[in-house]
Amino acid sequence: MESHYVLRNPITSESIKEVILNLTKNHLNRSFSSSATLIPPSQPKVQVKTEVVVAELYTDTFLPTILEKDKTVVVLYYTKQCSFCNGVSYIFLTVARKFSLMSNLIFTRIDGDINILPWEYTMETYPTILFFPAKRKSESRVFPSSISITVPNLINFLLVNLEPNLKIQALWSMCVQTKLPKEQSFCYSTLLEETLNLINDTLKEWRKSHKLQRQILLHRLKALRQLHLLFAHTPTKHIDISDYLKKLDLNVRHTEDFYMSKEIKHPRYEL
């Protein structure tokens, strides 16, 4: 395991001897400073979701960002010395644009050369892409090194690892931003199929659940039904779709979310 220590005194034979002696006695504290933390650059405090923003992370912002409980975070590790990283950065930005309508999916990047991180988050090769799912941070995933980093491959990697409800949100974000009619039609067909799959899975979960969980799952099923109708007949009603997508984030184990959501009124779309 590699560690970093900073010699803050002038470099002399005596200061070097002192550092070596303290190191052997475990009297030195590991440094987590970096050029980014020593000279903080100006950083935007708020990300505007109507624009594509890939947030730049630093030593002091890395852990608070990736460990945010209710956010799914994607991190691109890069270095300025890595020429291949430039092309991957453009791919990363392109995918971030396609998923830009998702408020709970964050795309970030960090310069691995100038930011010192805990060893378990330190990468040996660049570029590397890590996926941190919401509420399951210990189950992070690395984009396979055996697969080329392309827009389709990165999209597939994210869709495979997203929770089913987030997958529907991701597909919808892609469909909205697809311009060609033929591609948009195929996108919505895929979205309708995924919505039906989630309805079937939720019904199976409903049959095995207890009374209170059934109430919450029934609430989710109603939202899925309305979403399926909207996707099929009025996909341009983005505000209504966005409202129903938020209902899919309800956790069966957190009943307060369920009762708070019942106060939100939405227009009905009946067959």
Q: List pLDDT tens digits, range 5-27.
A: 566 666 776 767 676 777 676 76
Q: What does each C-alpha distance from 135 to 26, 90, 188, 238 come to in angstroms? A: 36, 28, 28, 27
- The per-residue pLDDT for range 92-145, each reduced to its tens digit, is 999 999 999 998 999 999 999 999 999 899 998 999 999 999 988 889 999 999
What letter would DSSP give residue 149?
Answer: -
Which amino acid belongs to residue 110?
I
The C-alpha atoms of residue 86 and residue 88 are separated, in whole angstroms, by 5
Distance of CA 178 to the CA centre of its chain: 21
Side-chain half-sphere of 164: how many Cα atoms within 13 Å? 16
Report which of 201, 139, 149, 198 is spatially closest to residue 170, judged by C-alpha positions: 198
Judge whether 171 and 105 are in contact, CB under 8 Å. Answer: no
Judge whether 143 and 131 are in contact, CB under 8 Å. Answer: yes
- pTM, full prediction: 0.72
Which residue would you say has higher pLDDT here, 157 or 13?
Answer: 157
Which residue would you say has higher pLDDT here, 38 or 88?
Answer: 88
Reading the block at residue 79, the tokens are: 């270095």
